[in-house]
Structure 1
Amino acid sequence: MVSLTELSAALGSQLVFPSGKQLTNRQLTGVHVSELEDPTPYLEGGELLLTTGMPVVRSAAAAAEYVTRLRHKGIPALGIGLGPWLEEVPSSVAEACAAAGIDLLTVPDGVPFQSVSRAFWRLSARSSQADLMGSLGTQTALAQAAMRPDATAAVVRGLAQALGGWAAYLPADPGPATYWPESAEAYIPTLRTETLRLNRAGTHSAATFEIHGQPVVEYSIAVSGRIHGFLAVGPGRTLTAADRQVILTVCTLLALKARQREVVSGATSTLGAAVAKLVLHGHTEAARILAEDVGLQDLPRRVRVLGLSVRAGDNAELLIRAASSLSPDAGLPPLPANLASCLLRHEEEAALYLVLPEEGVSQAGQDRIQDVNDPAPAHPQLAGALSEPVSLGEVAAVMPAIRRALRQARPGSLAGTGSAPNPQVSEWVETLAAYRRADLIATVTEYLRHRGHWENASRGLGVHRNSLRHRISIACSLLGVDLDDPDVFAPLWLELRHYER
């Protein structure tokens, strides 16, 4: 925009301000020429109005009414062209303008009004170019900020500084807001409430509202139709076209960062699922190698396996968030509230399995702090099953027990896999222990630990493979069962683990 001071300085003697008066620095939106007694229907407000004085020469009352209409329209300045109608500005016009707070200027005789208009538009073009260059410089700085590790915080801070106000980014999913300066923290609760309303309304381009009487503009940050967050801006001044372009640039940068996080998260989830599948099916060493090769976190030494029932159309993320509200059976720890951070998850046979670090579950009672703005969603049909702590290599052996416990679990409950005694399995163990010609307890335990792999089991026992085959044959004959049957080896394995202790 062009100020009255800039226009007067550019025109010099062609636009004269009364001597002894101080020229104000009011901003002009344009220059308009009119000889109508009431030109306000053709004005928007903010213009410098030029006239030869025809509407004000009739009487002082007419001049007062004319100036009053201009004040109501928001005209900041009036220019009187001296010449055929007026040789000087009437005192009644000067007094009316002073009372209305309108700057009064004169255009000397012989100076075309077109000169004033051309000067204004030259200055306006120069101002727009300066704004554009400044905007480009700001956008370049913001793009560089987006390359930093703390990209979101750097971009939000840069935007707030560029606008001379405050800015905040609120993720659509539960998470802390990013804002600048520190004083903007007071606005966050109100922004969360407004953002929740806008998020329910779906994708939108922008919304305006007020906080403590201050105008706020909020933009959605969306990628592929999904809203990732909201950018709220409390500008310290009236936004220009260049300012809005800077804001749109920030929205684009935040959307790009959101897309990058989405791609990385998707790839990480896929790799985590592959590692989990290997663990669940007993390929522990392959799982360790894959996790190391793709840069996933070190696999825990001891884990608990959580199984969740899945129905057609269920959203895995919502199921995981709802799992922390399951009521655990006696003797089971409550599930931690941060299950969503578990990368080792795999879905198969109408169930979702999560491989959880033992210490993460044992400390769940201390971690069950839910955000009041984001409580765990209700899922009345959800059921879960949680294994006892086992080493990573023992996970495959407990999977049949988990599946069985999950099928039997009541909706809304978290069932265990080894708390209920099984008389038949206890009898099996007693039969094995009673055999004196060989240590069948150690033999069967090692065989089940290695899921029937003869080489690994015989190496673990320090006996020849044929000796191991002979002992397993004796165990199967004594028990009258097939040790490779999942319904046999799962409960027997759990009972033998207790027996070893």
Structure 2
Amino acid sequence: MDATDTPTLGALLRRPDLHLRLEHGEPAALDRPVRWVHSSDLADPTPFLSDGQVLLTTGTQFQGGRTSAADYVQRLTARGVAGLGFGTEVVRDGIPPELAGACRDAGLPLFEVPYRTPFIAVARANAEAIAAEAFARRTWALSAQRAIALAALRPDGLGATLAELARQLGTWVGLYDGAGELTREYPSGDLDAETSASLGNEVAAVLRRGARAASALRISNRPFTLQTLGRGGHLRGVIAIAAGELDQEGRGVVTAVIAMAGLAFEQHQGLSRARGALRAGLVQSLLTDDPTLARRIARDAWGPLPTPPIAVALTDAAGARSDGLAELLELRAEERRGAVFFGRADDGLVIVVPAGDRQAIQEAADRFGARIGVSEPTGYDRFAAAVEQARVARDRGRDAVTTFGEVAASGVLSALGPEAPSLAAAELAPLTAHDAAEGSRLVETLRAWLDNDCSHELTAQALGVHRHTVRTRLALAERLLDRDLSSFATRAELWAALRVQSA
């Protein structure tokens, strides 16, 4: 649409048929949209005005000094009036100097409406401009939706649709997948690195919340609109548009693209489910510790399996978070063929990487907050054992990523369940009760004796007592516990109980 058709005060002044003459007005003020033209000679017409209107008057309210021009103009500017037109040769010739000065001081555009131009002609001209703009926007919206619908029929329908949307809006449009990765952008490279990183963080936050939403934000003084794709709890991605709030027609065009993109994602989801089922089957095949079948199928479908020695990881991610993580791993597997393999197991995603390259595992933990256990380096002939190691590391670890080696270093006793302290206390209760009642040191003596390899001599030195005292205390402990302290099994159980109790 031509700029002269835009409903602004400048457009009205440029209409030759109206013969309007600008008395005063800054260029920026003349480009302000005019929502309507109203006429009134009231001393205070503001109750009947709204923001963005132009007021026309013949000036009868200023006769006899009944109304102060300065106060009058101040009320108009406070109400948001876009301009003031003065009809001359009706009440007086020319614009009153005091009114012109007040408008100039307040920055309110002032123009003369000659006697030969009726006020209704000015109002009609603005109404026609508003109607022409609305018609042009509706025409544009229909044309844009038609072009987008045709783009959707091309081989890469989704990409063509987004490219057409960017062209129609005249701005940048980007598509992020469920993993928060920017997969498409039009025009390419339009965002600087800092803006792109900040926008990516915002998109990741939206995906982590998992709720359908449209949001607006500003990055480096540039407005963006984000629109999620997919249903709540199962978001498939986000479309980002480098634009602020759109008008009704613009929103309609974007809504059409969102619907098409959502349909494309849903169609792709069926294929993703099939691929996911195949990956899960390969994981089950690898759990037999024979990689022959999995190697052959993976090579034809995705590329070779990671070369051993491998590290096997197991995540705790489930539901929508697992879907997003799977999409990220799919991307990494495509980017680095032969470096990443993954598939679903009963209690998480199994991730296989070369033992010396765990970048994909760490990225999964960082971006999705998943808890991940990692096995020791191994071969495919011990895959099932590696998955179990990863499960133990995941369930016992305290960090986002925990290796089995870290868990194993803490010893077998660290894997005992929450009931272990109660069982240990019950095992040692006869000695604990005797010490409390008699002031004896049976628990201390038993612990020192076991820690010193059951040597009476070394225990006596450690406690600072005679070895016969040690023998006497141990004999009493044996009677109270009703256990044979010469048995290795008894000694091992008591040692474990004392360790758990002191942990």
Instruction: Give the TM-score normalised by the residue count of structure 1.
Output: 0.58
Are 2:273 and 1:266 equivalent residues in the alignment? yes
Q: CA RMSD in A?
A: 5.0
- Correspondence for 1:379: 371
Counterpart of 1:208 in structure 2 is 216
Within a 5 Å distance, the mapping from 1:13-32 to structure 2 comes to 13-14=17-18, 16-18=20-22, 24-32=30-38
Is the alpha carbon distance of 1:71 and 1:305 closer, same or farther for their aligned partners in structure 2, counting shifts above 3 Å? same
Tell me if structure 2 keeps the 8 A contact 1:55–1:66: no
Task: Count residues with an aligned counterpart.
Answer: 382
Question: 2:7 is matched with which residue: 2, 22, 27?
Answer: 2
Q: Which runs of 5+ in 2 are unaligned?
A: 1-5, 327-335, 397-401, 406-503
Deviation at 1:258, TM superposition (A): 3.2
Q: Which of 28, 39, 56 in structure 2 is aligned with 1:33? A: 39
Within 1, Cα distance between the matches of 2:259 and 2:117? 49
Q: 1:127 to 1:346 in 2, by over 3 A?
A: closer
CA contact (8 A) 2:88 2:112 kept: yes
Q: How does 1:422-501 map to 2 (within 5 A)?
A: none
Q: How do 1:42-441 and structure 2 match up within 5 A? A: 42-59=48-65, 62-82=68-88, 84-109=90-115, 112-145=118-151, 158-176=164-182, 178-179=184-185, 180=187, 182-185=189-192, 186-199=194-207, 201-203=209-211, 205-223=213-231, 225-235=233-243, 239-274=246-281, 277=284, 296-297=301-302, 318=322, 342=341, 345=343, 347=345, 361=354, 364-365=356-357, 367=359, 370-371=362-363, 374-375=366-367, 377=369, 379=371, 388-389=379-380, 411=396, 412-414=402-404
Moved more, 68-77 or 141-150: 141-150
Q: Contact 1:190/1:211 (CA < 8 Å) preserved in 2?
A: yes
Give me the whole-angstrom Cα distance separating, in 1, the residues matched to 2:74 and 2:153. 55
> Given that residues 212 and 232 in structure 2 are in contact (C-alpha distance below 8 angstroms), is that contact kept between their aligned partners in structure 1?
no
Query: What amino acid maps onto 1:79 in structure 2?
Result: G
Equivalent residue letter for 2:111: L
Give the CA deviation at 1:67: 2.0
* Consecutive unaligned residues in structure 1, runs of 5 or more: 323-336, 391-397, 416-501
For 1:37, what is the secondary structure of its paired residue? coil
CA deviation after TM superposition for structure 1 residue 187, in Å: 1.2
C-alpha distance in 2 between matches for 1:216 and 1:407: 42
Whether contact under 8 Å (1:167, 1:184) holds in the other structure is no
Give the drift of 1:125: 1.6
Query: Does the CA contact (< 8 Å) of 1:2 and 1:127 recur in 2?
Result: yes
Report deviation, 1:132.
1.9
CA distance in 2 between counterparts of 1:87 and 1:379 reads 83
State the distance in 2 between where 1:372 and 1:351 align. Answer: 13
Partner secondary structure for residue 127 of structure 1: helix
SS in 2 for 1:184: coil
CA contact 1:56–1:93 (8 Å) conserved in 2: no
Check conservation: 1:142, 1:158, Cα contact below 8 A.
Answer: yes
1:225-268 Cα distance to aligned partner (Å, 9 max, x none) = 53333344343x87433333333334334433433333321122
Does the 8 Å contact 1:277/1:346 carry over to 2?
A: no
TM-score, normalized by length of structure 2? 0.58
Q: Quick one: distance in 1 between partners of 2:387 and 2:156?
A: 43
SS at match of 1:80: strand
State the distance in 2 between where 1:243 and 1:63 align: 42
Q: How many Å apart are 1:172 and its aligned residue?
A: 4.9
Instruction: Tell me the distance in 1 between the aligned counterparts of 2:64 and 2:172.
Output: 52
- For residue 2 of structure 1, give the secondary structure of its aligned residue in structure 2: coil
The alpha-carbon deviation at position 44 of structure 1 amounts to 2.9
Contact 2:177 2:236 in 1 (8 A): yes
Q: 1:152 to 1:201 in 2, by over 3 A?
A: same
Residues 153 and 178 in structure 1, CA contact (< 8 A), matched pair in contact too: yes
Would you say the 8 A contact 2:291–2:380 is kept in 1? no
Asked whether the equivalents of residues 56 and 66 of structure 1 are also in contact (C-alpha less than 8 Å), the reply is no
Q: Equivalents in 2 of 1:19, 1:353: separation in Å? A: 76
Cα deviation 1:140-175 (Å, max 9, x = unaligned):
444455566776666555545544444444445242
- Check conservation: 1:385, 1:414, Cα contact below 8 A: yes
Q: Distance in 2 between matches of 1:399 and 1:80?
A: 89
Q: What is the distance in 2 between the residues matched to 1:268 and 1:216?
A: 34
The one-character-per-residue Cα deviations of 1:76-135 (angstroms, maximum 9, x if unpaired) are 322233465344432332333344333333444475533333332222222111122223
Structure 2 match to 1:439: none
Please give the per-residue CA displacement for 1:309-366, whole angstroms capped at 9, x wherever unaligned: 799x9559759979xxxxxxxxxxxxxx9999635x3646x78767x5xxx525x437
Aligned mates of 2:36, 2:9 — CA distance in 1: 11
Say whether the 8 Å CA contact 2:180–2:203 is kept in structure 1.
Answer: no
Is the partner of 2:227 in helix, strand or coil? strand
Find the aligned partners of 1:351 and 1:90 in 2 and give their Cα distance.
82
Percent identity of paired positions between Structure 1 and Structure 2: 25
- Structure 2 vs 1, CA of residues 59 and 187 (structure 1 numbering), >3 Å: closer, same or farther? farther
SS in 2 for 1:182: coil
- Report the Cα offset of residue 188 of structure 1: 2.3
Deviation of residue 399 (structure 1)?
7.2
Mapped to 2, the partners of 1:340 and 1:139 lie a distance apart of 43
2:269 counterpart SS class? helix
Q: Name the SS of the counterpart of 1:48 in structure 2.
A: strand
Query: Partner residue of 1:480?
Result: none
